[in-house]
Structure formats: structure tokens, C-alpha cells
Structure 1
Amino acid sequence: MTAETDARVARLLHHRKAGLALGEPITPAISVATTFHLPEAQGAAYYYGRSGQPTWDAVEAQLSILEAAETVSFPSGMAAITAALVCCLRAGAKVMLPSDGYYVTRLIGRDLLQVYGVEVVQVPTAQMAAEDFTGFDAIYIETPSNPGLDTLDIAALARKARAAGALLIADNTTMTPLLQRPLDLGADLVVAADTKAPAGHSDALFGHVAGRDANLMARIREWRRQSGSVPGPFEAFLVHRGLETLEVRLTRMCASAAAIAERLAAHRSVRGLRYPGLPGDASHKSIGSQMANGGFLIGFELAGEAEAEAFLSRCPLIEQATSFGGVHTAAERRSRWGDAVADGFIRLSVGVEPVETLWSAIDTALAG
């Protein structure tokens, strides 16, 4: 982490201090109010729970510090993604989506955007930079891609999109703003599922959109109000708490992932290993230039479906779950969701377990 990141984390931890009255709790309250005292229609900070409330404000303040941008929170990552796409597109528009990114984003393209007259073009992440952006209204990227972990040069794509008159939307879920900063690199909007590493404990669905264009962010905020796509106060509180330990957890998770990836690369049962932090990986070029490190996700293949499922069921320190970024190491065979990967491909999300204990469990499970 850089000195700038350290300062950002410190501000996040103390963001409420200046506004605290004597004896007021340091931890923000969980406000469950949906209605507020309104003897007059104008001048109130809050007037109805769908438009805003104090617990959202607390977590959005944290996220805004991390992103160095205005942030609007949503009840899930997909709600944030949907808001960004809907607010950037209209009937007759054209959008590019990654064909190898999160599969539900592709479903939104097929079942929502195309139905309402948006032309959706799917391109593999590794090929996006070579595409002609002429005629596109928005380019949506996911870097590293999920689950393949291919990366794109965000700054180069931002310049190319801007020259073509297109907006660049970046899904930064796998990295978080502590490890990668798409807005600094020229992206118009960032979307993320804070359900993953920011909340960190697999107990809260949450997402956000961040951007530095005031008009665009006003549309995002108004979409949330009109659509009713609003987060719950309990979830906001949990994400606020999770964000306070994000830097500590990421430091351990990424260091452990780097160590485990290196050992997996040398294992006789493992093939097709992907981890951007390894010098030989196709995505290693992004380390330093836009990514702080290789992250906490690893992709690898075993011989086939049976071998992959047997490994996952044998390892006592791997949760068989479909999410990532939590304190528990988790993994799954991704082809079961229709991703274009080998039947034996496993996405491994490294948690905060002691690394040698975790590796010992993985190594034993691989041995059968």
C-alpha cells in the first residue's frame, strides 16, 4: 500500500470524528426510520426512507473517501451495475460487455437492455482493446475479469472510449479501490459489489456506483430513488463496519494468495494456473501500472469435473460457495454456472486463515 492509500484508510477510520458531539457514539447508529419529522416540506436533511437516511450517509462517506468521488450505495452489486447501465444508455444505444465477465451482467444485457432496444455486443476481455469503439455509447469492462483474471489497460481504454464518444464503466469488484483506481485512470463510472471484500464477512448484500461527473451521478442517485433500489440500514451498518478492516484483511489475503499461487504453479496436479501476481502470468503486466498487487483470487484447473469436485469436498479449509472476498477461503467449479472455462476450472478466493495451515490443507486435498 502507498502512503496515499494509508492516508485514505486513516481518513476512512476517523471520518465521523469531526461531527461527533460530546458523548456521542463513535460507531454510527442503525437508523431504521422510513419517515421523518416534516412540519415544512423544504430544508430537511431527510424526508422519506427511499430518498436517503443517516446509515447510508455513513457508509457512503467511507466509500467516497476510498474512491475520491461521489458514491451512491445500492442493495447489491447487480443493483449498482444495473443503475450504471440504465443511466448511461437509452433505446437505440450500443454497449460493449465482456463475454467472459460476471455472467449475471451478461444476463442483464440479454434480458433487460436488449429488450428495451439497446444493442449489446459481447467481446472477450483480452480482445476488447483491439475493438473499434466507433458507434458505442458505453464500454463496460471488468478487470481482472471474473473468473478468468484477464486484465485491460484502463487508462488506454478510457482514452479510446473518450475519443469515440463513449462512456467507460469499470467493474472494480475483484480489486476494490485500495488495489486499483479506475476513476484515477480515466473511467467515467466505477461499479462494485461491496458484498465481497469491503463487507468481508459474507453477511451483507451491498453495492455502489462512484463517479466524478456531477450530472451523471445525479442521474444515478435519482434512478435509485425512482426505482426503489435502496439498501437496508442493517446492511449499510455491516458494510460500514467491514470497511474499517478492509485494508488489514486485504493485506493478509493478497499475501497469502501470492504464496499459495506460487506453490500451486509447481504442483503436478494443477494446470492452467492464473494469478496476476505471478511474473509469468498474462495479466502480470498490470501489476504496478494499475494494480497494487495480484489480489486474492486464483484460477486453476484440475484434470476434470470429478477431480475438481473431489478436491473441493476434501479440503476442510475451503468453503464451497459462489461468492468471494470473505474472511473464509472459498472456491467453486465455475463451469457449473455456464462460464466458458474447463470443467475442472476452480476459482479460489483466499481468506484470512494462517497461510501455512491453509496451504497444508490444500496440498493434502490435492494429493487425494
Structure 2
Amino acid sequence: MAETSHPAAGPLHPATTAVAAGRPPAEPGQPLNQPPLFASVLRAPADGEYARYGGASTAAVEQAIGALERGTAVVFSSGMAAVSAVVATAVRGRPGLVQPLDGYHGSRALFDSTTGLFTESVDVADVQATIDALPAHGVLWLESPTNPLITVADIEALSDAATAKGAIAIVDSTAATPIAQRPLDLGAHVVVHSVTKYLSGHSDLLMGAVVTRDESLARALVDHRSLHGAIPGPMDCFLALRGIRTLDVRMRRAMASAQVLAERLAAHPAVERVHYPGLPTDPGHAVASRQMDGFGALLSFVLADAATADAVCAGVELVVHATSLGGVETSMERRGRQAGEERTPPGLIRMSVGIEHVEDLWTDLARAIDAASAGAGGGGTAR
């Protein structure tokens, strides 16, 4: 069985950790990779005799994610199952929760519907306004970068302020991944990931993860998962772990391409605005440069209106018109078409950049933008 404890922070680079963590014991005769264990029950006596309480497959992916974030990871059957578990264990009973204006709509809907939890939405890029809105002993829920406006929060300053208020700072770091950002090292108390996205990276599974250095909270999360049955299956764990092996090379390629595409989109006459912290003109550039190792592979750009954005999404051939994000394939959608995204600009397209050759991506994207803007009577072709 793979080790369940995370290693102490050591000299290994995250790229190496992604490859080395979550392996079976390094002993003769052991498999190189943790195989999926297709068993609901083990012969007694044994650790994890019943699969709802965990097992070798679960432990392996938890060890890898925990090592990457330098904490203890607990995985769940989906990203929303992970968020729900955090609400039940770390959030419930606190006086209020501050969340981003443009955070993930599923999380916002859950918070707003939680009985007895007062929520307030703020611009998390405004450090002082966020601190002022946070009640003593409350919850600071951050996304950085946010989805879909790619807003960058100063995690260290906000986490320090939350700690001073007796509050808990929780960061959804799905968009950044541990390759680009490690919130626990910046003072956050809890990190949440939709493993469905960049961590697994192949758009073929659902999984979530929560990581913390508070061992009592980690135990409470495991207890909640066991009681509510939100355990991921062994094949999902196997696939997620296999995806993590290439996390660094995928993210580096995708981030490099995202930078190129953001720069070219910013220069296109039909594009009104680009949201990407890798651009020096982006409001989050300075903070992202300080707290991130790369600017992520998620960006958004704004066209004249919803009809033009829909035409672009329909006109691409290589880029996939689909929701979600984080796969090896580049995907995009007009985010405002989703329920709960009414505050998103109508012409905003969120793009998750994959690992295709950037020139092929730009040719496809520019052609679709030119055709859509010409059809709408808009201006110009790509420079």
C-alpha cells in the first residue's frame, strides 16, 4: 500500500514531486505504479477493510497531492463534494463567509444556500475591502486566479489578516495548481482543488481534494467523507495519479501558450479586454509575479456582445467549445450562458489553454474571431 503520510518539505522541485510521490514502497518485487485496487472489502484484520473508508488507490493519490501542496490531502468524488465537506467541517458554525465577486458559481450557490451562513461577495483584489468585510472568526474563501475574470488575490496578506481575526482562510487553487502556487506556504489554512481539472488533466474523471496542515481538520474531513459516502473510485484515483505525473510539463506548456495567446488577443481590434495576469497591464500582474511561479493557463477575453462571442465559439475547429477546464485540449465557452453567471460580461469567453502547438491554436482562434466580427459588422483582422 502507498504511504499515506506526506513527506516533510524537502529539496525536491514540484516537477519531481509530481513524478515521485504516491508510489508503492521502493522494494524489490513491488510495482512501479500503484495499481487500482478493485475491491470493496478486504479480508480482516486489515487497514481500510471497507472501501468507503479509503484504500490503497485513495491513499496513493492523496499522498501525491499532499506532497505537492506540503500538507495532508483528502480526496473526494468530485470538486463540489470537496467544497461541501469543507463547508460541513470548517465553515459551518462560523458567523459569516466572504467570497469573490466572480468565484465559481457552484461554490457561490452552495454558500448562499447554507442555512445560517451569512455571505458577502467582494472584490478580492482589494485587500483592505476584503479584510474590512471579513467578520471576526469568519471564513475567507478565496479563488486566485478567480473563475472566470482571472482576478488575483494577495493570498499572503489576506491569510495573515484572516489569522489575526481568528478567521480561517481557504483557497480554491484549481486554476493555479501546486505547480504555479502553493497557498499553504503563503499562510492559508486550507486548499481546495477540483482534481477534475488540471491535476488529472485529461477531461475523463471527476474528483476533488482538500489539503490542510491541521491534522484534526484532516481527520474530520475523512470522517465526513466516510459518513456521506463521497469516496472516489479506484479507477478515478489511478487516472488522476497518472495525470499528476505530467502536471508540470503540461502546465509549463499550457502557461507558455496562454501568454502568447493573451498578448495576441490584447492586440486584436475585435477584442475589448483580456483578463490574464501575465500581461503587464493586468491589475493582478504585480501580485501574481510575486506569489506565483507562472501565470496559469486560464484566461478570458471580452468581445462586443454575446452574439459575437457565440459565433466565435461556434466557429473554432481545433479549440473545443465546451464547459469545464484543465484538459490537454484547449477549450472555451461564453461563460455567461451558464446559470449563475449573470454578472459575467455578456461577450466574455473563458479559455482553458491546453498543450497543442500555439500557432495552430492562434490560427484557429484568430480565424473565428475575424469571421465573427466581420459578420457582426465589427472591425479588423488580427495583427
Q: Distance in 1 between matches of 2:126 and 2:257?
A: 30
Does the 8 A contact of 1:302 with 1:345 survive in 2? yes
Q: Pick which of 355-364 and 14-23 moved more.
A: 14-23
SS in 2 for 1:183: helix
User: Deviation at 1:326?
Assistant: 0.6
Does the 8 A contact of 2:96 with 2:135 survive in 1? no
SS in 2 for 1:299: strand
Q: What residue is the counterpart of 1:35 in the other structure?
A: 41
Does the 8 A contact of 2:22 with 2:64 survive in 1? no
Q: What residue is the counterpart of 1:164 in the other structure?
A: 165
Q: Distance in 2 between matches of 1:341 and 1:17?
A: 42
User: Deviation at 1:45?
Assistant: 1.8
- Count of matched residue positions in the alignment of Structure 1 and Structure 2: 358
Does the 8 A contact of 2:24 with 2:30 survive in 1? no
Q: How does 1:277-356 map onto structure 2 within 5 Å?
A: 277-337=278-338, 338-339=340-341, 340-356=343-359
Q: How does 1:1-368 map onto structure 2 within 5 Å?
A: 7-15=13-21, 19-38=25-44, 40=45, 44-91=46-93, 93-111=95-113, 113=114, 115=115, 117-127=116-126, 129-131=128-130, 132=132, 133-337=134-338, 338-339=340-341, 340-368=343-371
Q: Distance in 2 between matches of 1:265 and 1:97?
A: 29
Summarize deviations over 1:16-40 as a string: whole Å, max 9, x none: 56714433321211112111111x4
The TM-score with structure 1 as length reference comes to: 0.93
Q: Distance in 2 between matches of 1:306 and 1:326?
A: 26
Q: Distance in 2 between matches of 1:208 and 1:300?
A: 29
Q: Distance in 2 between matches of 1:199 and 1:18?
A: 19
5+ residue gaps, structure 1, are: none
Summarize deviations over 1:60-109 as a string: whole Å, max 9, x none: 11111101111001111111111112211334632222231000111101
Does the 8 A contact of 1:126 with 1:150 survive in 2? yes
5+ residue gaps, structure 2, are: 1-9, 372-383
Q: CA RMSD in A?
A: 1.7
Does the 8 A contact of 1:278 with 1:294 survive in 2? no
User: Deviation at 1:52?
Assistant: 1.0
Does the 8 A contact of 1:320 with 1:331 survive in 2? yes
Q: Distance in 2 between matches of 1:160 and 1:92?
A: 17
- One-letter identity of the residue aligned with 2:189: D
Q: Pick which of 349-358 and 23-32 moved more.
A: 23-32
Summarize deviations over 1:114-172 as a string: whole Å, max 9, x none: x2x22222223334642322334211111111101111111111111011110000000
Does the 8 A contact of 1:129 with 1:152 survive in 2? no
Query: Relative to 1, partners in 2 of residues 1:216 and 1:269: Cα closer, same or farther, differing over 3 Å?
Result: same
Summarize deviations over 1:259-285 as a string: whole Å, max 9, x none: 111111100110121110000001101
Identity %: 38
Query: Relative to 1, partners in 2 of residues 1:143 and 1:17: Cα closer, same or farther, differing over 3 Å?
Result: closer
SS in 1 for 2:184: coil
Does the 8 A contact of 2:35 with 2:57 survive in 1? yes
Does the 8 A contact of 1:101 with 1:125 survive in 2? no
Does the 8 A contact of 1:331 with 1:348 survive in 2? yes
- One-letter identity of the residue aligned with 2:87: L
Does the 8 A contact of 1:199 with 1:238 survive in 2? yes
SS in 2 for 1:96: strand
Q: Pick which of 56-65 and 134-143 moved more.
A: 134-143
Does the 8 A contact of 2:156 with 2:187 survive in 1? yes
User: Deviation at 1:253?
Assistant: 0.2
Query: Relative to 1, partners in 2 of residues 1:273 and 1:92: Cα closer, same or farther, differing over 3 Å?
Result: closer
